[in-house]
Amino acid sequence: MPSYSVTVATGSQWFAGTDDYVYLSLVGSGGTSERHLLDKPFYDDFERGAIDTYDVTVTEDLGEIQLIKIEKRKYWFPDDWYLKYVTVKTPMGDYLEFPCYRWITDDKEVVLRDGRAKLSADDKTQVLKHHRRKELEDRQKMYRWAEWHPGFPLNIDAKSHKELPRNIQFDSEKGVDFVLNYTKAMENLYVNRFMHMFQSSWSDFADFEKIFVRISNTISEYVMQHWQEDFMFGYQFLNGCNPVLIQKCTELPKKFPVTTEMVECSLERNLTLEEEIKQGNIFIVDYELLDGVEGNKTDPCTVQYLSAPVCLLYKNLEKKIVPIAIQIKQAPEPGNPIFLPSDAKYDWLLAKIWVRSSDFHIHQTVTHLLRTHLISEVFGVAMFRQLPSVHPLFKLLVSHVRFTIAINTKAREQLICEYGLFDKANATGGGGLAQILQRAMKHLTYSSLCFPEEIKARGMESTEEIPYYFYRDDGLKVWEAIKSFVTDVVDLYYDSEEMVSEDVELQGFVKDVYVYGLRGTKASGFPKTIKTRQKLSEYLTVVIFTASAQHAAVNFGQVFLGMYPDEHFIEKPVKEAMRKFRKNLDEITSCIAERNRNKKLPYYYLSPDQIPNSVAV
C-alpha cells in the first residue's frame, strides 16, 4: 500500500504547541485518504518549536496531491496550536510543501494547498477553484470594514484586540513586548512627572531639559546641547522625525508678508529676498492644517494651546538650512508679528518652540498615524479580504502587514480613544486629532505616497542644491531596492499586461483599497484598477515602502526589511529574488554606515538594518 512521509513543524513562539488530537487527510486527483491520527506512542507530539515526522499509509493511489486537511480536536481543554508548515514525501520520492503560518483554534479543520504561488487563472480543477473561493468567502466574513470615526479611512470591524481574528492578534511574545515597550517608554519619558510639569508654567528652560533626563544616547545628548541653535532647528526639517513638510518656496504667500528689510541680516549673498527665492535658496513650512483647531480642554486644570505657524528657512553659503522668519498664526495682523533671528534671544527661541510644538502635532497625527498606520491597515484589510493565501501578491505582502491591524486596534482601544493617553497628554486631544485627520485626508493622495514623486513635488529632489537631506537620499535608495525586488516578483507571475488586468483577485484588492480605505475619493488619485505590470510594481512598492521604510523614518521597528521568516514562497526564482533584494539592502546599509562615520549627527532611520517589515509598533 502507498505510504507517505508527513513532517509537521510547530511554531516557536510562546504557547505555540498543543496537546490536542491532530488528524491529517490527503486530497489527491485520484481520491481522498482516510483521516489519520498523527500520534507517536510515548512521545509528546507538537511541542513548541518541534518538527515531527509521521508515516501515513493509504489503501489506494491518490494521484497528484492537491490539498491536505489538518483537523484539531480537543484533548483536555482549549489549546490553540501554531502550525508553521507541513511537508509530504510521496511514494515516488517527490517533496511537497504546504505553508500554513497560522493559529488553529478550537476544534477546526484547516485545508492547505501546496506552497506554489498561483493566480486564479492557473487553477484548472474544481477542487482548487472551490478551495480558493471558500477561503475568500470565509475571510470576508472575518475581515469586515468599519468606520471608527467619520472622515477617517475605514478600518477593521473590531472594538478591541480580543475581537480580532486570532491570526492577526499579537502572539504572546509580541503582546508582552507591547506592554514592556509601552511601560519602558513611559518610564523613559517620565510621563507622570512630565505631565505634572504642565500644571503650571515652566519657570526656565532647565525644565525643558528635564525631558532628556531619562533618554541617554549620543544623538539625544548632542541635541540637548544644541537644541536652541538655528542650525539644529533647520536640520530637523531635513533629517528629524518629520522630514516631509519642508518645501522649496517659489512664491511668498500673501498671508506671510516677509520683506527683504526684515531678513537682510540673515541673507548671505547680497541678494533681495525675491532674488533668493528665484535662485532656490528659500524654503517654507506651513502648518495651515492646525488653523482653527481648538486646544485640548479635557482637563480643566491644564490649559493647552495650539498654533498654526508659518516658517521661512534659508540655505546659507554652507548649504545648510536655517530659519529666518516665523509667524505664529496664519493671518497677518498687528497682534501676530513676524519673529526674526535679530529679535531678543528668548523671543526668537520661543517662536521656534511654537513651530516645534506644531510640528509634533502634525507628525504624530498626520505623518505617523494617518500616512503609515491607518493607510497600512487599509492595505492589510483589503489584502486579507481579496487575496487568497496561494496568490503570489498575498505571499509578497503578508509579512508587511504583520501585527499592523493589531497595533492600530490597540491604539483605538487605549491610546487615541476618548480619555485615552492622547487625550490627556496632547494639545490636540479632546477632538483636535479628529479635526486634523479629517483635513489631512484631503491631502492623502497616491502620488504623495510615491516617494520620488513626493520629494519632487516639494522641490527637494536636487542633491547638489540640498546636499544634507539624508532622508531623501536614503529613502530613494530603499525605494529603488524595493521596486526592483517587486518587479522581479511581478515578472515571475505575470507574463503580460493582460494577465494583470484579468486577475480578478488583484483588481478586487485594488478596488477595496480605493472604495473603502480612501472612501472612493477621486481626488486621492488612487487607482480603481491596475492594467500594467509597471503600474502594479509601483503600487506594490507603495504598499511595502509605506509599511516599512516610511514608518521607520518617522518611528522605529523590530523585524527588519528583507527578512521573510515565514516562508510563504517556496519557488526557487522568488527565493533568488529575495537574496538579490537582501544583497541590495546590505549594500545600502554599508553605504549609509560609511557616510555616518564620524558624523556628530548620524542619520540611520532609513538604513535597511533599522527598517521594520511592517507597522507593528
Least confident range from 55-64, 199-208, 239-248, 597-606: namely: 199-208
C-alpha to C-alpha distance for 551 and 460, rounded to whole angstroms:
20
Instruction: Determine the pLDDT at residue 187.
Output: 45
Determine contact, residues 241/361, Cβ cutoff 8 Å: no
- Across 242-246, 419-423, 566-570, 596-600, which has the greatest mean pLDDT? 242-246
| 3-state secondary structure at position 567 | coil
Question: Closest Cα to residue 102, out of 117, 83, 80, 79?
Answer: 83
Known binding-site residue numbers for Ca(2+): 17, 39, 79-80
Neighbouring C-beta atoms of residue 13, cutoff 10 Å? 15
Known binding-site residue numbers for Fe cation: 368, 373, 551
Determine, yes or no, domain membership for 327: no
Residue 473 cell numbers, joined: 537620499
Determine, yes or no, domain membership for 39: yes
**What does residue 179 show for φ and ψ, rounded to 5 degrees?**
-65, -45
Cα angle, residue 249 at apex, residues 245 and 251 outer, rounded to 5°? 135
Determine contact, residues 432/294, Cβ cutoff 8 Å: yes
Instruction: Determine the pLDDT at residue 203.
Output: 65
**What CATH number has the domain bearing residue 51?**
2.60.60.20
Determine contact, residues 125/65, Cβ cutoff 8 Å: no
Please give the C-alpha separations between residue 518 and each of 69, 337, 487, 544, in angstroms, as whole numbers: 38, 39, 25, 18
C-alpha to C-alpha distance for 194 and 225, rounded to whole angstroms:
20
The confidence band for 582, taking pLDDT boundaries of 50, 70 and 90, is confident
Determine, yes or no, domain membership for 47: yes
- Residue 427 scores a pLDDT above 90: no
Strands (E), 117-170: 145-146, 155-156
- Residue 68 scores a pLDDT above 90: yes
- Residue 437 scores a pLDDT above 50: yes
- Give helix 533-545 / helix 470-493 axis angle, nearest 10°: 130
- Burial of 199 per CB tally in 10 Å (0-12, 13-18, 19+): exposed
Helix (H) or strand (E) holding 65, with range, is strand 65-73
The whole-number average pLDDT for the span 331-338 is 93
Least confident range from 288-297, 370-379, 494-503: namely: 288-297
More confidently predicted of 592 and 427: 592
- Residue 578 scores a pLDDT above 80: yes
| 3-state secondary structure at position 561 | coil
The whole-number average pLDDT for the span 237-247 is 94
The confidence band for 183, taking pLDDT boundaries of 50, 70 and 90, is very low
Determine, yes or no, domain membership for 165: no
Residue 272 cell numbers, joined: 533681495
Q: Mind listing the pLDDT tens digit for each residue in 364-405?
A: 999 999 999 999 999 999 999 999 999 999 999 998 998 899
Place of cell 532647565: 206
Known binding-site residue numbers: 17, 39, 79-80, 368, 373, 551
- Residue 190 scores a pLDDT above 50: no
Ordered alpha helix ranges (H), 411-527? 421-425, 432-440, 446-449, 451-457, 470-493, 497-501, 504-512
Amino acid at 577: A
Amino acid at 237: F
C-alpha to C-alpha distance for 53 and 30, rounded to whole angstroms:
24
Number of domains in the chain: 1
C-alpha to C-alpha distance for 35 and 32, rounded to whole angstroms:
9
| 3-state secondary structure at position 272 | coil
Determine, yes or no, domain membership for 119: no
- Residue 96 scores a pLDDT above 60: yes
Please give the C-alpha separations between residue 11 and each of 86, 572, 581, in angstroms, as whole numbers: 12, 23, 26
Determine contact, residues 117/571, Cβ cutoff 8 Å: yes
Strands (E), 221-288: 247-248, 282-286
Determine contact, residues 4/26, Cβ cutoff 8 Å: yes
- Residue 129 scores a pLDDT above 60: yes
- Residue 7 scores a pLDDT above 70: yes
Residues ≥6 apart with Cβ < 8 Å to 509: 382, 383, 385, 386, 387, 393
Ordered alpha helix ranges (H), 494-554? 497-501, 504-512, 533-545, 551-554
Determine contact, residues 325/340, Cβ cutoff 8 Å: yes
Instruction: Determine the pLDDT at residue 105.
Output: 87
Place of cell 502594479: 536
- Residue 180 scores a pLDDT above 50: no
Question: Closest Cα to residue 114, out of 71, 69, 67?
Answer: 67
Determine, yes or no, domain membership for 77: yes
Residues ≥6 apart with Cβ < 8 Å to 350: none
Determine contact, residues 405/168, Cβ cutoff 8 Å: yes
Question: Closest Cα to residue 321, out of 367, 364, 266, 372?
Answer: 266
Determine, yes or no, domain membership for 133: no
- Give helix 345-362 / helix 230-239 axis angle, nearest 10°: 10
- Burial of 310 per CB tally in 10 Å (0-12, 13-18, 19+): buried
Instruction: Determine the pLDDT at residue 448.
Output: 96
Domain containing residue 78: 3-114
Least confident range from 75-79, 149-153, 249-253, 362-366: namely: 75-79
Least confident range from 62-76, 216-230, 459-473: namely: 216-230
The sign one gets for the Cα dihedral 515, 516, 519, 522 is: negative
C-alpha to C-alpha distance for 27 and 64, rounded to whole angstroms:
8
Determine, yes or no, domain membership for 63: yes
- Across 44-53, 90-99, 538-547, which has the greatest mean pLDDT? 538-547
